[in-house]
Amino acid sequence: MFTKIVKYRRNFLEISNFRRKFSTDTISKQPAVVLGIETSCDDTACAIVNNNGKILSESKYSQLQFHLRAGGINPIFAQELHRLHIEDVVTEALEGANMKVTDVDAIAVTNEPGITRSLIVGVRYAKHLARKYSKPLIPVHHMEAHALTSRLENPDLKFPFLCLLASGGHCQLALVKSATEFLLLGTSIDSAPGTCFDRIARALNLQAVPEYRNVSGGPALELAASKSSNPNRFQFTLPLRDQPNCQFSFCGFRSQVIQTIDDIRNRLHLPRDEMIPYYEDLCASVLRIVTKHLLQRTQRAIHYCDRLGAFGVGATNKLDRTFVFSGGVACNDFIYRAMNEMVSQFGFKSYRSSKRLCTDNGVMIAWNGLERWHGNEEFYRNLDIDSVLPNSFTTLGSDHTELVTKKRLKCNFVKVPSMMCEDEIK
């Protein structure tokens, strides 16, 4: 029943040229090593990181090929695959760092949000290790970890900063004031951009094209879009275009696109396993609309932050304001470049983690654990391990979404750049 799991391991991986000089809002120089465990969705991952940002080792099992064949993530199978491989993943990370559990200061684990069945496996195993070796346990919010990962690779990234978190399960805008203080400015009211891409790629049957056979929906759609000869051939309605807030919505748009695909197939009497004409152009149109939606909500968030004075007086026209794009969708080069172009017009310097750290990984959990550890070490030393529970649905920080709506901010939105050619996307 189970497919062969794709596995990779990086031993003693070190981010080059990062001899850190931490400023006052970075974590302490006090030596510390944290082991991080991630099982929020379909990847079983572990990493060991020290407070200098050195990745001592990491290990990961990907369930991608199994779920591609299954047509989507099956929580029951995902849980079983986590159970089968979590011990091996942690063991390999420890061996790669030439360490034992007794050598780490604390164990960090994703406990929220995510797929309940998947979270349970990681939390239970982390508790087992914490009890067996008398180690403090640090519960980590998955989205907070995504938001803070760029600080591992960029020692000049200071608080506060504006962050867009976009993935297969989430889409959120937040003002990050510290490692533990987030103001939620916008969130998806239904689905997420990664899920939107995956469902549309499945409706198009992109996996029938040999070059996309082993590629997940989002990356496949991006590659197909890069081959478009007429990205304006298909016209779709922009989600929430008249709503003066920073919320996101993808379900209605996704349904609109899938209905268009079905109408074309019915009109041309095409079977479901046959590609529709100009499918690359449709992918380009989808990518442009999703990008425009993300850009417009982010621009309104910038205006709201300016109203709050979040970045201080006189910062508007200077590149001393920072924006972070993280989550799996941040791997999309077209969206990132469009976002970078937009925020730079408002005086922001943008950051994106290495692509392998944009997707779910153990490094971000270990790093978030370090940020929390140095912020309140005594708290985690005394934290009752039994109080750490998996939580599939949880908010990100303090909710400001209604406050944003009440401001009714009007925006002269920045235009989305034209589609890039295939070479640029690569």
In order, the DSSP letters of 374-385 are HHSHHHHHS--G
3-state secondary structure of 57: strand
> Band of the pLDDT at 349, cuts 50, 70, 90?
very high
The answer to whether position 157 is within a domain reads: no
Residues 248 and 229 in one domain: yes
pLDDT at 50 over 60: yes
Note whether 73 and 178 are same-domain residues: no
Average pLDDT over residues 360-365: 97
Residue 114 structural domain: 6-149+359-395
| Same domain as 403, residue 337 | yes
Considering the domain boundaries, does residue 155 fall inside one?
no
Instruction: Assess whether 173 and 60 both reside in one domain.
Output: no
Residue 372's region, left for phi above 0, alpha for psi from -120 to 50, else beta, is alpha
Q: Assess if residue 59 is contained within a domain.
A: yes
In terms of C-beta distances under 8 Å and separation of at least 24 residues, what long-range contacts does 235-241 make, across chains too? 235/285, 236/260, 236/285, 236/286, 236/289, 238/289, 238/292, 238/293, 238/296, 239/289, 239/293, 240/293, 240/297, 241/296
Within a domain: 139 = yes
Question: 365 and 328 in one domain?
Answer: no
Same domain, 279 and 409: yes
Is 1 contained in some domain?
no
Per-residue pLDDT tens digits for 226-253: 999 999 999 999 999 999 999 999 999 9
Same structural domain, 176 and 308: yes
For the record, the structure tokens of 407 come out as 């401001």
Contact 49, 36 (CB under 8 A): yes
Are 249 and 359 within 8 A, CB to CB?
no
Total number of residues shown for the chain: 426
154 belongs to a structural domain: no
Same structural domain, 212 and 305: yes
Q: Is the pLDDT of residue 66 over 90?
A: no
Q: How many separate domains does the chain show?
A: 2
Residues 365 and 413 in one domain: no
Is 156 inside a domain boundary? no
pLDDT in tens, 398-420: 999 999 999 999 899 988 877 64
262-304: pLDDT as tens digits = 999 999 999 988 999 999 999 999 999 999 999 999 999 999 9
The CATH number given to whatever domain includes residue 45 is 3.30.420.40
Q: Could you say which DSSP state residue 212 is in?
A: G
244 shares a domain with 212: yes
pLDDT of residue 424: 37
- Tell whether 106 and 70 lie within a shared domain: yes
- Whether the Cβ atoms of residue 395 and residue 184 lie closer than 8 Å to each other: yes
Let me know if residue 95 belongs to a domain.
Answer: yes
- Domain match, 179 and 254 both: yes
Q: Which two tokens stand for residue 405?
A: 């709506």
Task: Answer yes or no: is pLDDT of 70 > 70.
Answer: no
